[in-house]
Amino acid sequence: MEELHRIVKARLGHDILFGYPHALRVMENAEHIAERVEVNKNIVRIASLLHDIAFDGKNVVSHAEESAIAADKILKELGIPSDKRIAIMNTIRKHDFRVWEREGEPKTNEEKVVSDAENIERCSPQGLVKFIIIASKLPTYKDSGDIIRAASKFINKAYASLFFEVSKERAKESFEASKGFLEMLVHNVS
Ligand SMILES: [Fe+2]
Ligand SMILES: [Fe+2]
């Protein structure tokens, strides 16, 4: 596990929203949920730590699939057996709800836990700021109003996509803070 932390730090860097600190927060969320749900904790721990390993700030739509492939390569080099690697790959791929439209929703508890762990972060203030930073660099949105509306949709979808009660409890306070912030923002600029 120590070696994996070292690899994630080296690849993702120390940015508080995009780097290793994000991977760590998602892992902590996953571990918290895994205390109350029946899962293979080892798979959850590894998949959550590596869930965004190939994210570069631009590959928003494909980052889950790319991270699954990159994680598999890392784990193969560390001698992790293929059955475990497959479970970890599937868990990483399904952590992003954009993948669900093509491949269906998470099925295993491991997949659901890591998806929840990411969505708890997504609907929090740090997730909201992250969305705005990423969106402001994409050609998809025509102006600030467009980004604010998309951000609101995104955090609501993240919260609505949570599978477990324990995840909703953990997300609730920071989701309410993000929602309140967006409501005030919309109110003040419209
Ligand atoms: Fe993430
Ligand atoms: Fe992600």
What CATH number is associated with residue 64?
Answer: 1.10.3210.10
Which domain, by its residues, includes 95? 2-189
- For residues 82 and 85, give the distance between their C-alpha atoms in angstroms, rounded to a whole number: 5
Average pLDDT, the chain: 95
* Across 49-54, average pLDDT: 98
Distance 146 CA to ligand 1 centre (A): 23
Distance 119 CA to ligand 2 centre (A): 9
Pseudo-torsion of CA 177, 183, 187, 189, nearest 10°?
A: 80
* Across 122-146, average pLDDT: 93
CB atoms within 10 A of CB 89: 21
Closest ligand (CA of 25): 1
Chain Cα centroid distance, residue 40: 19
Closest ligand (CA of 99): 2
Q: Which residue has the tokens 């909201």?
A: 128
* Across 103-122, average pLDDT: 97
CB atoms within 10 A of CB 158: 25
8 A C-beta contact, residue 108 and residue 90: yes
Closest ligand (CA of 12): 1
Closest ligand (CA of 124): 1
- For residues 25 and 114, give the distance between their C-alpha atoms in angstroms, rounded to a whole number: 12
Distance 78 CA to ligand 2 centre (A): 23
Report the domain count for the chain: 1
State the pLDDT confidence band at 186, using cuts at 50, 70 and 90.
Answer: confident
The whole-number pLDDT of residue 31 equals 98
Distance 165 CA to ligand 1 centre (A): 20
